[in-house]
Amino acid sequence: MPPFAGLLAFEAVLRHGSMTLAGDELGLTQSAVSHRIRALEDFFGVALLERLNPGLRVTEAGARLAQELSPLLGTLAGMRRRIAGRSGPRSFRLGLSAPLLAWWLSPRLPALCGAFPDLSVEVVTWDTAAEAARAVVDLALLWLPHLSRSAGACELPFPIERVFPVAAPGLLETIPPGQGWQGLPLLAKGRRGEETGPEWSWATWLRVGPGQEAIRFRDIGSSLQGAVDGNGVALARSLLAADALRQRRLVRLIESDEAQPCSKMQIARWRDPQDQTAERIAGWLVASAGQAVTASDLMSVGAD
């Protein structure tokens, strides 16, 4: 059996992104938390965390452990209610943007519900930041500038994402020999001049010809769907494009080292510091997103 103290320490480190903060929660020193993580790594025979300077990064093995660990701890957390004979699942409201639901979370909802069988999950979506601020949810997945992170807040950051151009494989087949994708119609999101960062402006990527920017969409989800349908080249972010790239509905048009970092990041935030269920679900979602982002960013141009 794996050392249970190490599993608890690993889960706390994932939620806080810090061995020091995990130690504060567990009543341990940073050194003691590190020792427990090392013992866990010795048991599995693989590294679970990369020690950076500063910070930590979850390895692929660590992400796999996180996905198996979340349902286990969720089951244990519900033991008191089950042993005491209390019936009925707890209602849990999860809020996020419609594109994030459609392009990433929706296929993972069965696994999420399976990992937390004691919950009745209700998904709430929003289209604007104002709607997100008004929503009453247990856990919100927010798309915010990096500097919006609050020290000590009840939140977990998703992995940093990159932006890169994508297109449908069939559209690339229409390019005349000797020409590149840069001459294809370009798709964009939001109003012209109101891009949320330079990485979302086609002027950052190439010299845009007259009339080349063919269609503007309200949000990134609609823009990506337009690309899947062969309308042109869209700018995608790692998490939202991951499944479409894996399924070959879209292909990358540049190598990963040419991609632009996102000026925003996905953050899981909850209101109640005592809501351990929200923390565990946030940890599950962040671990799942880590796998998708890694796969998306490592995929080469036109890869299967």
CATH of domain 1-87: 1.10.10.10
**What are the residues whose beta carbons fall under 8 Å from the beta carbon of 266, sequence distance 6 or more?**
100, 141, 142, 143, 157, 158, 161, 239, 289
Q: State the pLDDT at residue 110.
A: 92
Q: State the pLDDT at residue 7.
A: 92
Ordered by start, the domain boundaries in the chain are: 1-87, 162-256
259-273: pLDDT as tens digits:
999 999 999 999 888
189-241: pLDDT as tens digits:
877 766 678 899 888 888 765 556 668 898 999 999 999 999 999 999 999 99
Report the distance separating Cα 40 and Cα 17, nearest Å: 17
Structure tokens at 271: 């209101």
Intervals of the chain under pLDDT 50: 303-304
CATH class of the domain whose range is 162-256? alpha beta
- Specify which residues 189 forms β-bridges with: 217
Q: State the pLDDT at residue 87.
A: 57
**What are the residues whose beta carbons fall under 8 Å from the beta carbon of 299, sequence distance 6 or more?**
245, 246, 252, 256
pTM for this prediction = 0.69
Q: State the pLDDT at residue 24.
A: 81
